[in-house]
Amino acid sequence: MKHLLFLALMVTAYPAFAQDTAPTETDVPAAIEEAVDEAIETVEDAVEDITPAENYVGHGIAMHGDMKYAADFTHFDYVNPDAPKGGTLRMWGNETFDTLNPYIPKGVSADGLALTYETLMTKAQDEPFTMYGALAETVETPADRSAVTFTLRENATWHDGEPVQADDVVYSFELLTTKGNPFYRAYYHNVTNVEALDDRRVKFTFDQGGNLELPLIVGDLPILPKHHWEREENNFEETTLTPPPGSGPYKIGKIDAGRSIEYVRVKDWWGENLPVNKGRYNFDRITYDYYRDQNVSLEALFANEYDFRQEYTAKLWATSYDAPPVVDGRIKKELIENALPQGMQAFAFNLRRPMFQDEALRKAINYAFDFEWSNKQFAFDAYVRTDSYFENSEMESTGLPEGRELEILEAFRDQLPPAVFTEEFKIPKSDGSGNNRGNLRIAKQLLDEAGYKTNAEGTLVSPITNEPVVFELLVANTNASFERWFQPWKQAMERLGIKPSLRIVDASQYINRVMEFDYDMIVTTWGQSTSPGNEQREYWGSDKADATGSRNYLGLKDPVVDALVDLIVKAPTREELVIRTRALDRVLKSGWYVVPNWHLAAWRIAYWDKFGHPETQAPYALGVMDTWWVK
């Protein structure tokens, strides 16, 4: 799903809006705003707006081009339509949970809750971005996609037997965009009206045409039961362990608060035989047991306390899977390559902190990080350094801009640093020996040229704030393994006079502090789909920089980035989307707003040899819970 189901967890050449600042809205000169507006018009005029010739009605909808599956398709290619039903899949959860409502900022939600809800449409995991009817039987759009109408399936019901109706859809939209996570307000801000045309038909009207993604992301809207949440005793804005009725293939069974949760397959589920669901949701039960320690949870796998584990820690993968059930084959250990865009995981600067408004400091801190040595020491050389916000996809920017991408960026030349056009962006690299003196010399030169001095205690002093350069990396205890990556980097920064520290807090405190932007630096990820769109506004939009709970973790306010995001949202073709995204990637990288981490374009999995799975693996989803089965 592209929507935020769980809250688990950049610029110009003008003096008043320089590359090394993070201006407030009032800092942006009117001349720059006018220049950006003109640039947008220039770029938009350069591409003919491609829209369907007439209104569309169908069983699904693609963002660009044709759908893979015709109206008479019987199942997705990456499932086994004859998979047997039955058995139990035992999963593990990290730390704990305290709510069954994943749609609000409060609380830590339980894993697996998506299993209990069905959305209007569902995404095919072997296409870049195509949605097919789930709750919705048909989807209708006018030629310019300025609206979308869904007709609900007549037999769709909630788990308590009540029918799913158009009023539920209208209620869900209003509830999520007014009381839900701030993400929903940003993601669906182009929707101007939602109305139930009758019991089964609901229409969404948009404030513009030409945004090809809007009908698809509206189809991904979580649909919640109005008759449950409108009751006075059910407060949507508070955490709860009372299961609401869902419409999906599973309902919530036994709960041991914070320790375990069970999902039970709904017998005679209304959606079981739909083409989008054939061969899916085969387990009678799916359970999650929670562990507060990674090592303990791994030992629990070997002790047959649960069935399946996706491993995220390279050190554990390399050194800790020599237990007897792995050696003798009772547990299978596999590395499965995938085509998923990796996005950007990084140490992210909070530009709301005045000292981090200086690009020279951000760049110097980048040069102090020795990834190559750390990768060998802590990850057995398993990872690849990330150097794009759209890593592992055709949307990565490389080399120097040329062709259509250069044409787009030329329209913003006066608002961009010259290096965007003349220098290939390269992440600092070392020889992996542990001797990073060359990069530290470059870092010191950058700081000296920017006017940094050291005080009597040997601490670097910012020429912007006249205060010592002291900052804190905030990490959740679920990511405490970052400490070993941080310590050698900390020592390198201290050689430059920078004084960093690490603070590890529990998951709830971490979420609250991130929501309030109460941090200097965090480890975070901007996940990317195969088809970037409206979510980019939430990631980088100037109007989201001060919105509590938004995912503009950087506090970025840049009209050029805003303009490029707008162009991505309005891309008329897949080819144009790719090129416009490369332009955004290039501009974001040029700001040195993060210290990029690393990635692995594969799934590391270990599981007890009791399961069958389809011969064809979907390129964009592992699909354990919805396509595997018990042998």
Q: Are 111 and 310 in contact (CB under 8 A)?
A: no
The structure tokens listed for 185 are 């307000």
* Rounded average pLDDT over 105-111: 93
How far apart are the C-alpha atoms of 266 and 68, rounded to whole Å?
Answer: 29
How far apart are the C-alpha atoms of 533 and 96, rounded to whole Å?
Answer: 32
How far apart are the C-alpha atoms of 411 and 13, rounded to whole Å?
Answer: 14
CATH topology of domain 59-281+602-630: D-Maltodextrin-Binding Protein; domain 2 (3.40.190)
Q: What is the DSSP letter of 423?
A: S
- Which tens digits make up the pLDDT trace of 259-273? 999 999 999 999 999
- Which tens digits make up the pLDDT trace of 420-463? 999 999 999 999 999 999 999 999 999 999 999 999 999 999 99
pLDDT for residue 39: 57
The structure tokens listed for 298 are 């791994």
Return the amino acid letter for 39.
Answer: A
How far apart are the C-alpha atoms of 451 and 590, rounded to whole Å?
Answer: 21
How far apart are the C-alpha atoms of 524 and 345, rounded to whole Å?
Answer: 6
The model's pTM: 0.77
* Rounded average pLDDT over 157-182: 96
Backbone angles phi, psi at 118, to 5 degrees: -110, 145
Average pLDDT, the chain: 91
The structure tokens listed for 414 are 């006066």
Entry field: residues in the chain = 631
Residue ranges per structural domain of the chain = 15-45+346-599, 59-281+602-630
Question: Which residues have a Cβ under 8 Å from the Cβ of 342 and sit 6 or more positions away?
Answer: 386, 391, 392, 393, 528, 599, 601
Question: Which residues have a Cβ under 8 Å from the Cβ of 73 and sit 6 or more positions away?
Answer: 275
- Which runs of E-coded beta strand occur in 270-342? 285-291, 308-310, 331-337
pLDDT class of 38 with cuts at 50, 70, 90: low
Q: Are 515 and 105 in contact (CB under 8 A)?
A: yes
* Rounded average pLDDT over 200-220: 94
The structure tokens listed for 461 are 């002093």
pLDDT for residue 605: 97
pLDDT for residue 480: 87
pLDDT for residue 17: 26
CATH class, 15-45+346-599 region: alpha beta
Q: Are 347 and 366 in contact (CB under 8 A)?
A: no
- Which runs of E-coded beta strand occur in 394-498? 453-454, 460-461, 470-476
Distances (CA, A) of 241 to 99, 229, 561: 5, 14, 41
pLDDT for residue 40: 57
Q: What is the DSSP letter of 222?
A: B
- Which tens digits make up the pLDDT trace of 272-283? 999 999 999 999
The residues with which 348 forms a beta bridge, in sequence order, are 522, 594
